[in-house]
Amino acid sequence: MKSYINYIALLLTIATASCKKDNYDPPTSKLTGRVVYKGEAIGTEYDQVRFELYQDGFGKTGPIGATFAPDGSYSMLLFNGNYKFIIPNGQGPFKWKQTAAGAPDTMLITMQGNQQLDIDVTPYYMIRNPQMNKSGGNISGTFKIEKIISDASARDVESVSLYINKTTFVSGANNVAVKTVNGNDITDPNNVNLSVAVPTLTPAQGYVYARIGLKIAGMEDRIFSPVVKIDL
Amino acid sequence: MKKISLFIFSTALLLAAGCKKDSEFLDVQPTSILTNEQAFSDPAQVLSILADLYNRQLDFSGLDNGWSSFADFSESFPSENGSAGIVQRNEWGFNEWGTWDYGYIRDLNLFIERATAAKALFDVDKARFLAEARFLRANYYFEMVKRMGGVPLITQSLLYDFSGDPTYLQYPRAKESEVYDFVISEAEAIKNDLPVNANEKSRATKAAALAMECRAALYAGSIAKYGATTPQVTLSGLEVSIPASMASGYYNKALNAAKEIISGSAGTYALYNKKPDLSENFASIFLDKSNNAESIWVEDFKLKSGRVNGFTVSTQPRYGAEEEEGGRINPSLNLVESFEKLDNSFAPIPTSDGAGNPLYYTNLLDIFAGRDARLGGTVILPGSAFKGRLVDIWAGYQLANGTIVTGDDRGAQKILPGQSSSVQVVGFDGPVSNKEFTAQTGFYLRKYVDPTPGAGSRGTNSEIPFIRYRFAEVLLNAAEAAFELGQPGIAAGYMNQVRTRAGFTIPLTAADMSFDRIVHERRVELAFEGHILYDMKRWRLAHVVWDGNKMTVADLLSNIGTAAKRSTQPYGLLPYKYYDPASANNGKWLYKVSLPALVTGANRFRLGNYYSWIDDNVRANNPKIVKQPNQ
């Protein structure tokens, strides 16, 4: 018994003695913002649209990677210093500026304390004025599709979908019901109507979350409208 | 005096003996390490070095790299509680399926250099060893290019000079086509140094080299052709993607290599056809080790040698298993229904009539009657037997009013209405929802499951080999290459050989041949052999078939046999016994399509999955390595 106490005392001493400060302070500067087009946030799918920060001068170069939140926001906790920001090729339902060689161009960010920084991109389309309502056992969504890029690099609308889910994660992978209409079947892009029946929810709940996703031909990530909570 | 002279004499002797040069005295050959020259002096010794290199080959699915390497892609449901992640995730990570083993490449290069320099080997031995090492190196580069696209082609051992500047060791990625060209040209260069011997299975032969060449050329051809449909999956330096203009060149090479094997010039290979029961015959391709003319190159195992595999332990039917486990791979209805009817048509497994009323079957197996014999050879169906014992797969009783009576344990008992004593209400093989090792889709895997007594026990395990290349695949490669070259008649001829073995009596004609047929035939013939991911990738179908949308039953039952059919969740088909003493159908079986309760995710193959992630460390060490697209 006594030897136990000795051991415990010894361990405690070691543990206390090792309670020194780490070599480095943790990062404290917060970089926050949204991915925007003319000040309006672009909705994305959860954990799908990646961006990368690079910081040179510390040995190996590797990205500090993260993804945009469904509402288009992002936040990172960083050390003060200079960073390079890119959105890799093929990510997001929008165009990010590229160099002449086709590599994603960098945006320089200098961190000196907290910083709010919106990332400007050019989306192929915007979902304008989405209205989502309950009608009977259905959720209906009405919106306007606005074409933003109409030059040679313009892309068609492959399809639009109305998703509903029990949680705020609403997308092709996370939904309880979905209604999809192909781009060719859209007669009036200024007034698109989608309606989907709410299935029986288990466990029952008195609300659903809904959002509209627009698939652009040849692009993987959809552009989304904001998530809306609808009481049933 | 005499003593003194003796003393002087012995001192002199000692000094003389100690008068060796220091360098000579200290330079003792170690007894535990062989020099390169010693190691490469004896063929048996060289073979043992080579054996290690053989062992380090990488397979997508391997009997010794875990049952779960067979289980993904909605072709089966993983019936093990710890592995439900396979059906609950919504996407694959970009780093899945990656490989970057340049340590292995270096050892192969060193072997080639040392064997080339060896003086004591006979030329004939040396040529064979060198050809084998080059075969292994080419086959591993093939494995890398399938997963990573173009990789640095290193064909000699590299040595760092400690100058502080490693840039001369940094090689950029080769073009994807250059890696395929390397595999093809190596096969051509070594094939005549390898033995022509259809009985040599575990070491490289001429046929193995040709089979590798054939598959590699076919992959390259289809990436060239179908890569055009996914222009996003390209890199400007062509490290990923192959120009469409190169497609027919590759298809020609694939067809020629296949013809060389089929003609018999590389040894007498043939489709395995020893047993009258065609399903039994199909299952035996993977079990029969004696004079199996179908397998070309295998990863072999041997009982009591330490080199055995536990695949059967993991996958044997749970009821009557030799251990308290098994049943982990439950093939999905998605796969089962895609086996054709014998009139060459596709149809769902008939569970109900046109009006939606359930169909009742006297025997469990009746519902699967009249289908491709490979179904019973690939999958253990309800009502069929394994090791002479019927599997006990049934989900419960259905009463006249539609109520289901079932239990929550294997072989559970309950009292049926109107009876006084309890009876078994669910099979000893399940399916019981969420109960691991039971047949939760209603099916067990049969392919590669070894019925030899003892094979299912942990202390014995199994010695069946994993077949890396086999003759039926060569025929299908030939069929696909011929079809893509605009020779559908020839393609049908090759494909019909494989289909005849599966019990089809009506041959396909040139007009029947289509891309969908090619895709379908490979899926059913080569199921659970590690092909489906690479096939779907090279046809650029992966992001279409596994598109991340949940499947409905309507999705499941429609468009069977269509290449682009969605398959994101593994469905099951559960048999129920009808209980209604007043009815003529009492005691008969009906079937219900159901999604196992654990399946909550939907497979999503993102464009960034086409080529696996290259680690940031690799790219930091060698800035010449460009990143994969869409990641």
Residue in A closest to B569 by C-alpha:
A173
In order, the DSSP letters of B527-542 are: TTTT-HHHHHHHTT-H
Q: What Cα–Cα distance (Å) separates residue B451 from each residue in A171, B71, B356, B590?
A: 46, 20, 39, 29
Would you state the pLDDT for residue B23? 74
A70-90 pLDDT, tens digit per residue, is 999 999 999 999 999 999 888
The pLDDT confidence band at residue B2, using thresholds 50, 70 and 90, is low
Q: Which residues pair with B590 in a beta bridge?
A: B576
A55 to chain B, any CB pair closer than 8 A? The answer is no
Q: Is the pLDDT of residue B508 over 70?
A: yes
Would you state the pLDDT for residue A99? 81
List for chain B the helix, strand, coil content (%; round to 5): 40, 10, 50
Cα–Cα distance for residue pair B502/B525, rounded to 1 Å: 9
Q: Is the pLDDT of residue B557 over 80?
A: yes
Would you state the pLDDT for residue B1? 58
The pLDDT confidence band at residue B76, using thresholds 50, 70 and 90, is very high
A58 to chain B, any CB pair closer than 8 A? The answer is no
**CATH code, A45:** 2.60.40.1120
Exposure string for B418-443, b = 16+ CB within 10 A, e = fewer? eeeeeebbbbbbbbbbebbbbbbbbb
Q: Does any domain span residue B291? A: no
Q: Does any domain span residue B337? A: yes
Q: Does any domain span residue A6? A: no
Domain boundary among A93, A122, A151: A122
B353-399 pLDDT, tens digit per residue, is 888 889 999 999 999 999 999 999 999 999 999 988 899 999 999 99
B415-430 pLDDT, tens digit per residue, is 888 888 889 999 998 8
**Residue B53, burial from CB neighbour count under 10 angstroms (0-12, 13-18, 19+):** middle
Q: Which residues of B touch A219 (CB under 8 A)?
A: 232
Same domain? For A199 and A175 the reply is yes
Cα–Cα distance for residue pair B566/A180, rounded to 1 Å: 15
Q: Is the pLDDT of residue B19 over 70?
A: no
**Number of domains comprising chain A:** 2
A63 to chain B, any CB pair closer than 8 A? The answer is yes
Q: Which residues of B touch A162 (CB under 8 A)?
A: none
Q: Which residues of B touch A178 (CB under 8 A)?
A: 549
Would you state the pLDDT for residue A203? 85
Domain boundary among A122, A157, A189: A122
Among A60, A62, A90, the residue with its CB nearest the CB of B607 is A90
Mutating which of A60, A166, A176 best tests the B interface, going by the most B Cβ atoms within 10 A?
Answer: A60
A60 to chain B, any CB pair closer than 8 A? The answer is yes
B607 to chain A, any CB pair closer than 8 A? The answer is yes
Q: What Cα–Cα distance (Å) separates residue A191 from each residue in A127, A129, B290?
A: 11, 10, 70
A148-163 pLDDT, tens digit per residue, is 988 888 889 989 999 9
Of B267, B279, B266, B311, nearest in space to B465 by CA: B311
Identify whether the C-beta of residue B205 lies closer than 8 Å to the C-beta of residue B195: yes
B97-150 pLDDT, tens digit per residue, is 999 999 999 999 999 999 999 888 898 899 999 999 999 999 999 999 999 999
Domain boundary among A92, A107, A122: A122
Would you state the pLDDT for residue A60? 78
Q: What is the mean pLDDT of residues B67-71?
A: 89
Would you state the pLDDT for residue B25? 75
Of B337, B370, B338, B341, nearest in space to B351 by CA: B337
Say yes or no for a CB contact (<8 Å) between B232 and A90: yes
Q: Is the pLDDT of residue B334 over 70?
A: yes
Q: Is the pLDDT of residue B231 over 90?
A: no
The region of weakest confidence among A8-17, B12-21, B106-115, B592-601 is B12-21
Cα–Cα distance for residue pair B465/B62, rounded to 1 Å: 10
Q: Does any domain span residue B152? A: no
Residue in B closest to A163 by C-alpha:
B549
Classify strands B444-445 and B76-78 as parallel, antiparallel or unpaired.
unpaired
Q: Which residue has tokens 């031909």?
A: A217
The pLDDT confidence band at residue B306, using thresholds 50, 70 and 90, is confident
Identify whether the C-beta of residue B19 lies closer than 8 Å to the C-beta of residue B88: no
Q: Does any domain span residue A75? A: yes
Q: Does any domain span residue A61? A: yes
Identify whether the C-beta of residue B407 lies closer than 8 Å to the C-beta of residue B425: yes
Give the closest-approach CA distance of B96 to chain A in angstroms. Answer: 16
Cα–Cα distance for residue pair B571/B232, rounded to 1 Å: 32
Q: What is the mean pLDDT of residues B534-548?
A: 93
Same domain? For A99 and A134 the reply is no
Would you state the pLDDT for residue B527? 92
Same domain? For A141 and A213 the reply is yes
A46 to chain B, any CB pair closer than 8 A? The answer is no
Mutating which of A45, A46, A50 best tests the B interface, going by the most B Cβ atoms within 10 A?
Answer: A50
The pLDDT confidence band at residue A186, using thresholds 50, 70 and 90, is confident
Residue in A closest to B602 by C-alpha:
A173
A115 contacts: CB under 8 Å, gap ≥ 6: A29, A30, A31, A32, A109
Q: Does any domain span residue B427? A: yes
Q: Which two tokens stand for residue B140?
A: 């591993």
A15 contacts: CB under 8 Å, gap ≥ 6: none
Same domain? For A55 and A131 the reply is no
Average pLDDT, chain A: 87
Q: Does any domain span residue B586? A: yes
Among B231, B606, B627, the residue with its CB nearest the CB of A220 is B606
**Number of domains comprising chain B:** 1
A105 contacts: CB under 8 Å, gap ≥ 6: A86, A96, A97, A98, A99
Q: Which residues of B touch A61 (CB under 8 A)?
A: 619-620, 623
Would you state the pLDDT for residue B417? 86
The pLDDT confidence band at residue B577, using thresholds 50, 70 and 90, is very high
Q: Does any domain span residue A221? A: yes
Q: Does any domain span residue A19? A: no
Same domain? For A66 and A161 the reply is no
Would you state the pLDDT for residue A17? 67
Type of residue numbered B63: L
Gyration radius of chain B's alpha carbons: 29
Q: Does any domain span residue B465? A: no
Give the closest-approach CA distance of B549 to chain A in angstroms. Answer: 6
Among B547, B550, B629, the residue with its CB nearest the CB of A89 is B629
Same domain? For A113 and A85 the reply is yes
Say whether the peptide bond before residue B453 is cis (omega within 30 degrees of 0).
no
B20 to chain A, any CB pair closer than 8 A? The answer is no
The pLDDT confidence band at residue A11, using thresholds 50, 70 and 90, is confident
Say yes or no for a CB contact (<8 Å) between A173 and B602: yes
B235-291 pLDDT, tens digit per residue, is 888 999 999 999 999 999 999 999 999 999 998 999 999 999 999 999 999 999 888
Q: Does any domain span residue B629? A: no
Size (chain A), residues: 232
A67 to chain B, any CB pair closer than 8 A? The answer is no
Same domain? For A128 and A227 the reply is yes
Gyration radius of chain A's alpha carbons: 24
The 3-state DSSP class for residue B309 equals strand
Cα B53-B106-B305 angle, rounded to 5 deg = 15
Of B143, B134, B136, B130, nearest in space to B216 by CA: B143
Say yes or no for a CB contact (<8 Å) between B232 and A220: yes
Say whether the peptide bond before residue B78 is cis (omega within 30 degrees of 0).
no
Q: Does any domain span residue A55? A: yes
**Helix (H) or strand (E) run with residue A84 in it:** strand A81-86
B364 contacts: CB under 8 Å, gap ≥ 6: B381, B382, B383, B393, B394, B575, B589
List for chain A the helix, strand, coil content (%; round to 5): 10, 45, 45
Would you state the pLDDT for residue A95? 87
Give the closest-approach CA distance of B517 to chain A in angstroms. Answer: 27
Q: Which two tokens stand for residue B308?
A: 């055995």
Same domain? For A97 and A129 the reply is no
Same domain? For A152 and A226 the reply is yes
Query: What backbone torsions phi and psi does residue A196 show, to the nearest 5 degrees?
Result: -135, 140
Percent of chain B with pLDDT over 70: 98
Identify whether the C-beta of residue B219 lies closer than 8 Å to the C-beta of residue B146: yes
Say yes or no for a CB contact (<8 Å) between B616 and A62: yes
Say yes or no for a CB contact (<8 Å) between B232 and A175: no
Which domain, by its residues, includes A115?
29-122
Same domain? For A136 and A153 the reply is yes
Q: Does any domain span residue A204? A: yes
B630 to chain A, any CB pair closer than 8 A? The answer is yes
Q: Does any domain span residue A194? A: yes
Query: What backbone torsions phi and psi does residue A49 show, to the nearest 5 degrees?
Result: -100, 110
Among B231, B543, B620, the residue with its CB nearest the CB of A60 is B620
Average pLDDT, chain B: 91
Percent of chain B with pLDDT over 90: 65
Q: Which two tokens stand for residue B147?
A: 């997963």
Q: Is the pLDDT of residue B296 over 90?
A: yes
Residue in B closest to A177 by C-alpha:
B550
Would you state the pLDDT for residue B356? 84
Give the closest-approach CA distance of B617 to chain A in angstroms. Answer: 7
First to last CA, chain B: 94
Which domain, by its residues, includes B428?
317-448+570-595
Q: Which residues of A touch B550 (CB under 8 A)?
A: 175
**CATH code, A217:** 2.60.40.2060
Q: Which residues of A touch B544 (CB under 8 A)?
A: none
